[in-house]
Amino acid sequence: MKYSDLCEIYEQLETHSSRLEKTEILAEFLKKLKSEKSKEIIYLLQGRIFPDYDNREIGISTQLVMKALSRSTGMSAGEIEKHWKKLGDLGLVAELITAKKRQSTLSSSQLTTEKVLINLQKLPALEGKGTVDKKMALISELLTSASPKEAKYIIRTLLSDLRIGTGAGTLRDAIVWACFDKEDKAAYEAVQEAYDTSTDWKLVFEKAHKGVEELQKTGLTPGQAVKVMLYPKVANVEEAFKRAGKPAAFEFKYDGFRVMLNKEENGKIKLFTRRLDNVSRQFPDVIKYVKENIKGKSFIIDGEAVGYDPVTKKYRPFQEISQRIKRKYDIEKLEKELPVEVILFDVIYYEGKSYIKAPFKERRKILEKIVKQQKHKVILAEQIITENEKEAQKFFEKAMEEGQEGLMVKNLEAPYKPGSRIGYGYKWKPEDRDFDLVITEAEYGTGKRAGWLTSYTVACGHEGKLLEVGKVSTGLKEKEEEGLSFKEMTKILKPLIEKEEGRTIKVKPKIVVAVTYQNIQKSPTYSSGFALRFPRITRIRPDRNTEDIATLNEIKKDYKEG
């Protein structure tokens, strides 16, 4: 397929804001894609080059992109940076300067989607001496052959910033429209379940051609990341029982990061976060615990890794232990300084069999049989099963006294639904309300906070879009030793800057933060139509991305209940 044909689809998607229109555009494109030999093109529709379960990253910085643009167009890096500051989008810069170049040069060879994928898929594997030059050569080869429009989308794909507004839900619906009747409810469910268990749109699309029965055969594969089940909030014990039913399971909610333990048939153990990142290398201690304490040749087990103090043995807040997730060096040193305990609460695959559709009470019994509990290594989540409100309330108070975040409340008969806040389980936390939101803008401070980014615009999600719900400038510290500081946040946000307007900057929506607030009010100032009152950032959530943030519906729910 010509890459220009794909770019035409990008253009149409970018200019149509309606989800229905986007779905129609994608569906028509997918009908044509059926006849293409390579179905990997479907990854490019979301600005990716690999399946979602594959956490290899392109690893290209804005500086390297500007150098590649300079090499392919002959324009100086300084001029390119000026255009970037004005337009706030290196894709638009690439389109602009490539158009100027094309006016004075002969047309180059025509790009294919296959060629774009081949070059981009080579980038993550490059490392060691001469890596930068090799990456530059692969990118420049594409840009030299690209039309202005193609250059725009090559650059945006490199920077994981496609800007066409197609979320997973839109792509799912488009696959249904392309392969089934639009009104076939079973098809929507089959496509979603196939994706939830495989996290691979190419595989799902190929199976969809063959019908619902083929989609339903999609199974879990140990060693391949799967999306975790998510949990909406409840405010109190009455709501907990109303939603989860009686009796229900109540478990401690621990302040750690979600981890899926995978053991393949060959004995290899892999660890994945809720963002599908493979963190096996960062946690050799956890690999050892799994080998020593969990029976079975193959499994996928859901749990939480919680940090604890090596001396006092008391649990430590997530913010302290989170630095181990991204660390590539000094792993042994950190293992001693920031040890973790793995707390398990669900199993979805064991010894060649999927337990996704088995009731939770059965899955818990399997865990109890196969896990040898060892304090400070591997334990099961502390749990009670009750239909008594006083007993549940007492257990909640116990969790709080022991420094936990609250309780998880689970329907005993419920299956496991990867990737969904379906309502099979709930999180019950103290009255202090909080949401996970993503930072989209920031402002430089003044006075003693000059040079730091100190005011942050945060947004929720809605149908693939990000909607602002206010600004937050409290919760961070001026001194680094006191906790999450303005200086640290500034370091994190600066590489993500897309555009500067005076003191305000727009950033790529990559940094998810936990924001507590007093209540919610209506506000025409922000695109969500709501604003958080007295918001405060309590932590960064490196284990979460924009798919995990609060939705507009959750904001509305809290507003009505407030």
Pairwise CA distance, residues 190 & 217, whole Å? 10
Judge contact between 25 and 13, C-beta under 8 A. yes
DSSP code of residue 374 = B
What pLDDT does 102 receive?
Answer: 58
User: Do the Cβ atoms of 307 and 342 come closer than 8 Å?
Assistant: no
Of 233, 162, 174, nearest to 11 (Cα)?
162
Q: From CA 492, how far away is CA 50, in angstroms rounded?
A: 26
Helix count and strand count (H, E) for the chain: 22, 20
Which amino acid, 326? K
Q: Are 314 and 418 in a shared domain? A: yes
Q: Which domain holds residue 382?
A: 233-428
The token pair that represents 323 in the structure block? 């630095």
Say whether both 238 and 320 belong to one domain.
yes
What is the residue whose two structure tokens read 């899955």? 363
Domain ends where: 380, 399, 428?
Answer: 428
Phi/psi-derived region of residue 473, left when phi > 0, alpha when psi is between -120 and 50, beta in every other case: alpha
Task: Tell whether 11 and 64 lie within a shared domain.
Answer: yes
Tell me whether residue 76 is exposed, middle or buried, using C-beta atoms within 10 angstroms of its C-beta: 0 to 12, 13 to 18, 19 or more.
Answer: exposed
The residue annotated as part of the active site, out of 67, 149, 152, 253, is: 253
Q: What is the pLDDT of residue 432?
A: 65
Do 405 and 511 lie in a common domain?
A: no
Residues 392 and 525 in one domain: no
Distance CA 445, CA 289 (A): 46
Same domain? 152 vs 244:
no
User: In this structure, is residue 176 part of a structural domain?
Assistant: no
Per residue in 399-457, pLDDT (tens digit) is 999 989 899 999 999 999 988 778 799 999 887 688 999 999 999 988 788 889 999 99
Based on the fold, state whether residues 443 and 510 are members of the same structural domain.
Answer: yes
Please report whether residue 146 resides in a domain: yes
Rounded Cα–Cα distance for residues 532 and 517 (Å): 6
**Is the CA virtual torsion 491, 495, 501, 504 positive or negative?**
negative
- From CA 469, how far away is CA 462, in angstroms rounded? 12
CATH number for position 275: 3.30.470.30
Look-up of token digits 């639009």: 182
User: Would 451 be classed as within a structural domain?
Assistant: yes
Burial of 176 (0-12, 13-18, 19+ CB in 10 A): buried
| Cα–Cα distance, 346 to 352 (Å, whole number) | 16
> Which pLDDT value is given to residue 106?
46
DSSP-assigned beta bridge partners for residue 343: 304, 379
Helix axes 3-15, 113-122, angle to 10 degrees: 90
φ/ψ (deg, to 5) at 32: -70, -35
424 with 546, same domain? no
Name the phi and psi angles at 363, rounded to 5: -65, -40
Residue with tokens 């996290």: 199
Q: Is residue 96 part of a domain?
A: yes
Q: Would residue 326 count as lying in a domain?
A: yes
Collapsing DSSP to helix, strand or coil, 167 comes out as coil
* Cα–Cα distance for residue pair 144/327, rounded to 1 Å: 36
Angle at CA 52, nearest 5°, toward 145 and 347? Answer: 170
Same domain, 132 and 19: yes
Sheet holding 248-253, edge to edge: 233-234, 425-428, 406-411, 248-253, 383-386
At residue 409, the pLDDT reads: 98
Domain boundary among 387, 409, 428: 428
pLDDT per residue as tens, the chain (562 positions): 999 999 999 999 999 989 999 999 999 999 999 888 889 999 999 999 999 888 888 888 888 999 999 998 889 988 998 888 888 889 999 999 998 875 544 445 689 999 999 999 999 998 888 899 999 999 999 999 999 999 999 999 999 889 898 888 899 999 999 999 999 999 999 999 999 889 999 999 999 999 999 999 999 999 999 989 999 889 899 999 999 999 999 999 998 999 999 999 999 999 999 989 899 999 999 999 999 999 999 999 999 999 999 999 999 888 778 878 877 778 888 888 899 999 999 999 999 999 999 999 999 999 999 999 999 999 999 999 999 999 999 999 999 999 898 999 999 999 999 887 787 999 998 876 889 999 999 999 887 888 899 999 999 999 888 999 999 999 998 888 788 899 999 999 998 988 888 889 999 999 999 999 988 999 999 999 999 988 999 989 988 888 889 999 999 988 887 6
SS3 97: helix
C-alpha 515/C-alpha 431 separation (Å) is 14
d(CA 319, CA 328): 18
Tell whether 223 is covered by a domain.
no
On whether both 485 and 396 belong to a single domain, the answer is no
DSSP result, 44-72: HTTT-SS-TT--------HHHHHHHHHHH
Residue that is last in its domain, among 129, 158, 187:
158
Give the total residue count for the chain.
Answer: 562
Report the C-alpha gap between 372 and 379 in whole angstroms. 8
Tell me the C-alpha distance between 144 and 58, whole Å: 19
Q: Are residues 415 and 469 in the same domain?
A: no
- Enter the pTM of the model: 0.80
Is 398 within a domain? yes
458: in domain = yes
Q: How, if at all, do strands 233-234 and 425-428 pair?
A: parallel
Give the model confidence (pLDDT) of 177-227 as tens digits. Answer: 999 999 999 999 999 999 988 999 999 999 999 999 999 999 999 999 998
Count of domains observed in the chain? 3
2 in catalytic set: no
Same domain, 460 and 408: no
